Chains A and B, each alone.
Chain A
Amino acid sequence: NAGVTQTPKFQVLKTGQSMTLQCAQDMNHNSMYWYRQDPGMGLRLIYYSASEGTTDKGEVPNGYNVSRLNKREFSLRLESAAPSQTSVYFCASTVGEGHQPQHFGDGTRLSIL
């Protein structure tokens, strides 16, 4: 049982390049999330999807787009990467009902030169 799987694990981009980070969960969860983790700032929510077919902005959505492809998959796209987007990106999912915890992937370490 894989849980939440993120690909790739590492990526280096040049400024202006585009990139899609992939996330898939096999727990039949309704809600999925994308966070970024920066030193001293904890995790900040970029976008989330409460259920299949819906997406909403989080705290730091600028420069990103998302697609909830189906119930299992939720991708994050950087259209024109900037050095300020160098970060570790985490995908998470949860049932979406009641106070159930989120389950996290192992992260994608993204460097933009």
Chain B
Amino acid sequence: GDSVTQMEGPVTLSEEAFLTINCTYTATGYPSLFWYVQYPGEGLQLLLKATKADDKGSNKGFEATYRKETTSFHLEKGSVQVSDSAVYFCALSDQGFQKLVFGTGTRLLVSP
């Protein structure tokens, strides 16, 4: 079945550092790909999405490109802030219905 693999955390960075969180997927069809963010004590919020190969999703300085050839959707940000500290989830949805398959999440800790 479909699956998502994320790098294990926590990822610890200093403010203004470059961020990469790796995400790879396995799917039989042509899924849409998502990054969700979860701040402490809150539910998940959509950060960005991409619906087809080579699409780039972007939001709040974060970017991710849908790479079909490497089945990847890595999350990047050029300069992280303390306020970016959260848990980030990569997810995919299948073609026929909006069932999401999540990765295990990567905790990001940014220090001043």
Contacts and interface: CB of A to CB of B under 8 A. Distances in A.
Q: Which of B32, B34, B49, B99 has the most CB of A within 10 A?
A: B99
A19 B49 CA distance: 35
A53 interface: no
Interface size class of chain A, counting residues whose CB lies under 8 Å from the partner chain: 20 to 34
Contact of B44 (A94, A95, A99, A104): A104
B46 A101 contact: yes
Given A90-B44, A100-B98, A105-B43, A41 B104 contact: yes
Contact of B98 (A31, A41, A43, A107): A31
A46 to B, nearest CB: 12
Contacts of A44: 102
Interface string A47-84: 01010000000100000000000000000000000000
Contacts of B104: 40-42
Contacts of B45: 104
Interface in B1-50: 32, 34, 36, 41-46, 49
Contact of A99 (B51, B102, B103, B105): B51
B49 A99 contact: yes
Interface size class of chain B, counting residues whose CB lies under 8 Å from the partner chain: 20 to 34
Contacts of B34: 101
Contacts of B98: 31, 94-96, 99-100, 102
Interface string A19-56: 00000000000010100000011111100101000000
Q: Which of A41, A48, A101, A102 has the most CB of B within 10 A?
A: A101
A26 to B, nearest CB: 15
Contacts of A42: 89, 102-105
B49 A43 contact: no
Interface of B: 32, 34, 36, 41-46, 49, 51, 89, 93, 97-100, 102-105
Interface of A: 4, 31, 33, 40-45, 48, 50, 58, 90, 92, 94-96, 99-107
